[in-house]
Structure 1
Amino acid sequence: MSTPTPVTHYVLVRRTGLSPDAFAERTGLHPDLARKLVALGLLDAHRDTGGEMSFEPSEVAHAARIQRLRTGLGLNYSAIG
């Protein structure tokens, strides 16, 4: 008798993060500006296994706060961070 071949199962999981384009659409920011804000440490983003950047949905509120401080008080990004 031969032994049965093990079967591999893969679980499909929905991505919880927002792509840079989806984030830009929700916040009104250009995707390049969103990347710049990540580089400055003002927004948090994660990279998936493919290297694609993704944002948590809570970062939309952080981006709105940054926009309010920038336009309302005229603060530069260094002062915000």
Structure 2
Amino acid sequence: MSGRATQPEASRPFQEMVILGVQVLLGVGFMVFSAYVFYEAALALYKLDLVRMVGAYFLFFGTVGLGPFFWPFSWPFGEGH
């Protein structure tokens, strides 16, 4: 007799829906943040503001470098997780 508890089959669809919801929220948040960064970069170019250009550069590439871990449609841990 093993001491491991198994999840009932009825809770799996709910758990998958929660995971999918979290992934979609993270994806939408990342897209909104990316749009904000692009807006900042465009405004910096329009005003020729060097400080804002550097800030937008680091905001964009600092987050895009972490992008695969936050992008829900290319989950980095495989299909089983």
Q: Same fold (TM over 0.5)?
A: no
Structure in which a larger fraction of residues adopt helix? 2
Structure with the bigger RCO (C-alpha within 8 Å, sep 6+) is 2
Structure in which a larger fraction of residues adopt strand? 1
TM tier, shorter chain? under 0.3
